[in-house]
């Protein structure tokens, strides 16, 4: 097969080429200057060449150079398409990329070189896995398992139907005299049918990504394209083996049937094993976070290769390993690693997809074609008919068992979305000439079908979706409410099922979850997180996400409105019964004070923000920092007991000066508790905001409190220990002075001096500013 | 209906009222007898016979829902002590899957019924809204399967969820506005994203009897 493609793709061949062999290199390779090494001269009789200052050695870097050039071309193309938005709205990216491939192929051919063809090895070993891993790792598991029955029926029965229907009909066509196709036997036709009948995940992904169709349809077509790999593998090998014998015995059929189960279940098993190993490994990576993503990629790739090793379904192994490892790995790895994994997978799959489509175009130009009108046209027509009939028939059968029936609109989209792609091409390419002389004709037909489905169906599916008003994907943000409700509903339905005695979907899911919690999580998740229930994990994830969003947006941008205006005050204004303060340790008193202060400071800070943004010139970094602290403070506050000793209700905000005046002048606002000998009294001088004197005042008061026994946490005490800052000047929000105690409340304490504090309602108990100062 | 020779007319009546098929009613009747131990009515304790229900964190709420008068379409509120087969069927009818031949109005009504059932499960004190306290209880129960968890986590989740609900239903709030609780309309709003019709159903096609029943 070396004659049909240039040798540069095959490293084994290249190594056989001597470095000085100019004929193997493309014409633009200039002379190589090998100073001194190749000289076989015995002595110094050869004239000395001048020392080469500049030299060119192309063959040395040839392979990586050309590979990089191709990838760079792919990326630049992707870039280019998005610069011109009008084109990408009408034509899906895959079409544009094929056209680019055609152009590039034509260009190379025009120059006189033979353009590279997409070799099957390269495709199956390097280009396909990233796409499948990306799909498998981020598979929406809930929808997938809910529709698993439907997907399996479409994948297995649908593909079988397609293959046999198409193969049989093509055989019939070949028998028609006058077409010149009589030499193609039944099995060869069936083989052809099995190659062309599989829906291609790459093409489906490429087209469906852009049309944002509703999740049900997306998962049906996409799931089908993933799971039909097992069927394709079995059929392909079966027919390839026996195509030349023109007769298949019953034993072979039975064996083929068996091998289907072996291939699919074996692939899944391999994937699960690698997934569990990966999850287990990730348990111990807490000290070397940097290589965590690499484990995910390597284990998945090994799963794929191991499955391919045994002729099992590599795609199913890859999907299974991604699905199995994901929940455990995500619980173990750091957030950055998670982001890295996400971005690397997206990047690789994106580049792979682009390269595949470009190479499809190039291969079309480069390959040898044999065009036979009858064969090609009839293939095309029968493909479409087979798909439509298959979908219709299967849906009629499936709808008997589904709760949510598939409407005719859905069926149309499923049938129309059955795109063929590069897998079919590569499988066809793998056929060898000796056994399959009509390989070129097959390839031509395959390419025609691919072009048709990608161009015609790919381009028209979007206007059709709009025309038929198919439900689109709803961009809903996952909210904590939804999570609570969904879990509640799950438990409720499980309970009802148990009461009915019906061991249905929910019952088994619940059993699996319990098994998971009891055994798997303990082994595979590190540390405390193994016991974390799903709701808590979800909540933490959301809080984290919001905090990161806030910091990233710089704090100046739009703050999620859910958080900014609705605070605890809005939903829980009633004072919880004031607990009589038992003669507790002063540590508790400190806690109280701290909480009160935080409560008040945080609220006023919140409100004052609106003034700050417009009136004061705020340093953006500092603003973001403050926001971050605010958010964290809020989060911490939420986690504390709400049985605060004081819940100070808010009041209408006056201007800062007014409030300050009010506090200063209203001696009756606060009364110290009678039994509060241990209460450290904090005196606040409202007159001079943030002046060092007022700080001293507070400090001295505190220092004078001998009744305050030193507790171990006073060192890092956040509310009551004040370091005097000599360099502070009034009016600056000096957040970053080192040594000022970098606890957030410390800084807030500073601000307290200028912020108004809310007044407690008269019936509130615990004051914090003593009467009469 | 403890006798085994049930009258076809009665069954037909029940079928019309609740929407089940005759076959499903037969199944459910067998199940009812198993739970009740051949008694005509079941009480809360009868649900202890179902072993699988032990693991369910919201077990008490589910059992309670069976005895909630609002769900049984009775005029009064509160809990009743025992329910008969017809009441049992009424509760089960909330979990019927939707049928193709329903029109828009029926679908909407069906949907509201299911959501009302859920709402009653959250709103235990029958005051028509889910207060923060009740919501906290719900979250605590959901997390009750993890004994080592602190109460604060449940509370903070409930608080966060309540705030989110407030912002969805009311939008921007002044600092001194108070959000009383989630009313049924707000509840509907929150569930808009989730397709309740397709989710809240149990297949009644084939059921296995409990293998063991003390």
Q: Does A495 touch chain B (CB under 8 A)?
A: yes
Kindly indicate whether the ipTM for this predicted assembly is greater than 0.90, answering yes or no.
no
Q: Closest to A539 (Cβ–Cβ): which among B157, B170, B200?
A: B157
Q: Closest to A488 (Cβ–Cβ): which among B52, B142, B210?
A: B142
Per-residue model confidence as pLDDT tens digits over B133-160: 888 888 888 887 776 767 777 788 888 8
Is A500 in contact with B202 (Cβ distance < 8 A)?
Answer: yes
- The answer to whether residues B15 and B22 touch, using CB atoms and an 8 Å cutoff, is yes
Token duo for residue A505: 């979907």
Measured between CA atoms, how close is B32 to chain A, in angstroms?
A: 8
Rounded to whole angstroms, the Cα distance separating A312 from A308 reads 6
Q: Does B184 touch chain A (CB under 8 A)?
A: no
Eight-class DSSP state of B129: E
pLDDT at A323: 92
Rama region for A266: left / alpha / beta (φ>0; ψ in -120 to 50; rest): alpha
Three-state SS at B182: strand
Rounded to whole angstroms, the Cα distance separating A137 from B11 reads 51
Q: Does B132 touch chain A (CB under 8 A)?
A: yes
Rounded to whole angstroms, the Cα distance separating A566 from A606 reads 11
Q: Does A650 touch chain B (CB under 8 A)?
A: yes
- Give which of A445, A452, A420, A388 is closest to A188, Cα–Cα: A445
- The answer to whether residues A342 and A350 touch, using CB atoms and an 8 Å cutoff, is no
Contact map slice: B 42-61 vs A, CB within 8 A: 47, 50, 52-53, 55-59
- The answer to whether residues B208 and A503 touch, using CB atoms and an 8 Å cutoff, is yes
pLDDT at A38: 47
Q: CB pairs under 8 A, 24+ apart, for B38-47? A: B38/B2, B39/B2, B40/B1, B40/B2, B40/B84, B40/B85, B41/B82, B41/B83, B41/B84, B42/B82, B42/B83, B42/B88, B43/B81, B43/B82, B47/A499
With a cut of 50, list the residues of chain B below it in pLDDT: 1-5, 206-214
Q: Does A761 touch chain B (CB under 8 A)?
A: no
pLDDT at A506: 78
* Domain layout of chain B by residue ranges: 15-198
Q: Does B152 touch chain A (CB under 8 A)?
A: yes
Fold assignment, A120-349+365-468: Na+/H+ antiporter like fold (1.20.1530)
Rounded to whole angstroms, the Cα distance separating A301 from A285 reads 19
B96-109 per-residue burial string, b: 16 or more CB within 10 A, e: under 16: bbbeeeeeeeeeee
* Domain layout of chain A by residue ranges: 120-349+365-468
Is A489 in contact with B179 (Cβ distance < 8 A)?
Answer: no
pLDDT at A565: 53
Would you tell me the crossing angle of helices B22-36 and B8-18 to the nearest 10 degrees? 100
A256-285 per-residue burial string, b: 16 or more CB within 10 A, e: under 16: beebbebbbebbbbbbbbbbbbbbbbbbeb
- The answer to whether residues A440 and A370 touch, using CB atoms and an 8 Å cutoff, is yes
Is B194 in contact with A503 (Cβ distance < 8 A)?
Answer: no
Is A495 in contact with B56 (Cβ distance < 8 A)?
Answer: yes
Measured between CA atoms, how close is B152 to chain A, in angstroms?
A: 6
Measured between CA atoms, how close is A536 to chain B, in angstroms?
A: 7
pLDDT at A528: 66
Cα A645 → chain centroid = 45
**Distances from the Cα of A263 to the Cαs of A121, A309, A310, A428, A614, in angstroms?**
20, 12, 9, 20, 67
Q: Does A513 touch chain B (CB under 8 A)?
A: no
Query: In terms of CA atoms, which chain B residue is nearest residue A405?
Result: B100
Is B95 in contact with A653 (Cβ distance < 8 A)?
Answer: no
- Give which of A507, A508, A531 is closest to A519, Cα–Cα: A531
Homologous superfamily of B15-198: EF-hand (1.10.238.10)
pLDDT at B130: 80
With a cut of 70, list the residues of chain A below it in pLDDT: 1-45, 179, 243-248, 475-478, 527-531, 554-627, 629, 633, 635-773
Q: Closest to A571 (Cβ–Cβ): which among B62, B163, B190?
A: B163
């Amino acid at each position: 097969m070396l004659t049909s493609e240039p040798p540069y793709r095959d490293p084994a061949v290249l190594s056989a080429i001597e470095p000085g062999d100019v004929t193997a290199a493309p014409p633009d390779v200039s002379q190589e200057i090998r100073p001194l090494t190749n000289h076989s001269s015995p002595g110094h009789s050869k004239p000395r060449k001048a020392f080469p200052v500049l030299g060119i050695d192309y063959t040395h870097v040839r392979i990586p150079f050309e590979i990089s050039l191709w990838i760079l071309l792919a990326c630049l193309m992707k870039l280019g398409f998005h610069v011109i938005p009008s084109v990408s709205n009408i034509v899906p990216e895959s079409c544009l990329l094929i056209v680019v491939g055609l152009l590039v192929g034509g260009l190379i051919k025009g120059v006189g070189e033979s353009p590279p063809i997409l070799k099957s090895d390269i495709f199956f070993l390097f280009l396909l896995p990233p796409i499948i891993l990306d799909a498998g790792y981020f598979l929406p598991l809930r929808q997938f398992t809910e529709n698993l029955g439907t997907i399996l029926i479409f994948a297995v029965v649908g593909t079988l139907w397609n293959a046999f229907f198409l193969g049989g009909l093509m055989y019939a066509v070949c028998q028609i005299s006058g077409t010149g196709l009589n030499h193609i036997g039944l099995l060869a036709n069936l083989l052809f049918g099995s190659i062309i009948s599989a829906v291609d995940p790459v093409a489906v992904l490429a087209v469906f990504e852009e049309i944002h169709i509703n999740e049900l349809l997306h998962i049906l077509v996409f799931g089908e394209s993933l799971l039909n790999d097992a069927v394709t593998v079995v059929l392909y090998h079966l027919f390839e083996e026996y195509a030349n014998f023109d007769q298949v015995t019953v034993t072979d059929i039975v064996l083929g049937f068996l091998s289907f189960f072996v291939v699919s279940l074996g692939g899944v098993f391999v994937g699960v094993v690698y997934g569990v190993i990966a999850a287990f490994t990730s348990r111990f990576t807490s000290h070397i976070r940097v290589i965590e993503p690499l484990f995910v990629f390597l284990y998945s790739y090994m799963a794929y290769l191991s499955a391919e090793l045994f002729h099992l379904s590599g795609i199913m192994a890859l999907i299974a390993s991604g699905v199995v490892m994901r929940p455990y790995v995500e619980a173990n790895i750091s957030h950055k690693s998670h982001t890295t994994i996400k971005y690397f997978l997206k990047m690789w799959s994106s580049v792979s997809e682009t390269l595949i489509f470009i190479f499809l175009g190039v291969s079309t130009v480069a390959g040898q074609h044999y065009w036979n009108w009858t064969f090609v046209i009839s293939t095309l027509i029968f493909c479409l008919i087979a798909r439509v009939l298959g979908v219709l028939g299967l849906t009629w059968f499936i709808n008997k068992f589904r709760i949510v029936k598939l409407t005719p609109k859905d069926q149309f989209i499923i049938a129309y979305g059955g795109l063929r792609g590069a897998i079919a091409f590569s499988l066809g390419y793998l056929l060898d000439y000796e056994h399959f002389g009509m390989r070129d004709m097959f390839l031509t037909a395959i390419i025609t079908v691919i072009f048709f489905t990608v161009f015609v169906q790919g381009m028209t599916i979007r206007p059709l979706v709009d025309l038929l008003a198919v439900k689109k994907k709803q961009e809903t943000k996952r909210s904590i409410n939804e999570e609570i409700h969904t879990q509640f509903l799950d438990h409720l339905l499980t309970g009802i099922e148990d009461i009915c005695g019906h061991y249905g979907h929910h019952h088994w899911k619940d059993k699996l979850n319990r098994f998971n919690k009891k055994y798997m999580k303990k082994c595979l998740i590190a540390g405390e997180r193994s016991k974390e229930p799903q709701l808590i994990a979800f909540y933490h994830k959301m809080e984290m996400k919001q905090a990161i969003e806030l910091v990233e947006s710089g704090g100046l941008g739009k703050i999620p409105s859910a958080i900014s205006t609705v605070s605890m005050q809005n939903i829980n204004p009633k004072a919880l019964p004031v607990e009589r303060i038992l003669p507790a340790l002063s540590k508790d008193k400190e806690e109280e004070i701290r909480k009160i202060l935080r409560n008040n400071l945080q609220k006023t800070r919140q409100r004052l923000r609106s003034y700050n943004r417009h009136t004061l010139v705020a340093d953006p970094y500092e603003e973001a920092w403050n926001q971050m602290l605010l958010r964290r403070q809020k989060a911490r506050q939420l986690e504390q007991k709400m049985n605060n000793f004081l819940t100070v209700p808010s009041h209408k905000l006056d201007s800062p000066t007014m409030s300050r005046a009010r506090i200063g002048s209203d001696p009756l606002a606060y009364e110290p508790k009678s039994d509060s000998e241990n209460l450290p009294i904090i005196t606040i001088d409202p007159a001079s905001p943030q002046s060092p004197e007022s700080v001293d005042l507070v400090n001295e008061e505190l220092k004078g409190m001998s009744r305050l026994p030193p507790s171990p946490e006073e060192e890092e005490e956040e509310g009551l220990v004040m370091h005097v800052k000599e360099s502070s000047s009034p009016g600056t929000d000096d957040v970053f002075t080192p040594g000022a105690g970098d606890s957030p409340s410390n800084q807030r304490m500073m601000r307290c001096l200028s912020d108004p504090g809310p007044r407690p309602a008269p019936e509130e108990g615990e004051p914090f500013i003593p009467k009469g100062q | 209906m403890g006798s085994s020779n049930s009258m076809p007319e009665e069954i037909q009546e029940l079928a019309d009222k609740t929407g089940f098929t005759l076959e499903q009613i037969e199944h459910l009747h067998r199940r009812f007898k198993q739970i009740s131990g051949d008694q005509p009515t079941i009480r809360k304790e009868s649900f202890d016979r179902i072993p699988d229900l032990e693991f369910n964190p919201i077990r008490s709420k589910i059992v309670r829902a069976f005895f909630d008068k609002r769900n049984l379409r009775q005029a009064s509120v509160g809990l009743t002590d025992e329910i008969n087969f017809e009441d049992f069927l009424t509760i089960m009818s909330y979990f019927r899957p939707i049928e193709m031949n329903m029109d828009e109005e029926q679908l909407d009504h069906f949907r509201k019924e299911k959501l009302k059932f859920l709402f009653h499960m959250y709103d235990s004190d029958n005051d028509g809204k889910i207060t923060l306290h009740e919501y906290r209880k719900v979250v605590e129960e959901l997390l009750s399967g993890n004994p080592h968890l602190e109460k604060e986590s449940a509370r903070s989740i409930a608080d966060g969820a309540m705030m989110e609900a407030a912002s969805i239903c009311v939008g921007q709030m002044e600092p001194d506005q108070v959000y009383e609780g989630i009313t049924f309309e707000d509840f509907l709003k929150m569930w808009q994203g989730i397709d309740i019709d397709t989710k809240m159903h149990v297949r009644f096609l084939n059921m296995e009897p409990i293998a063991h029943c003390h």
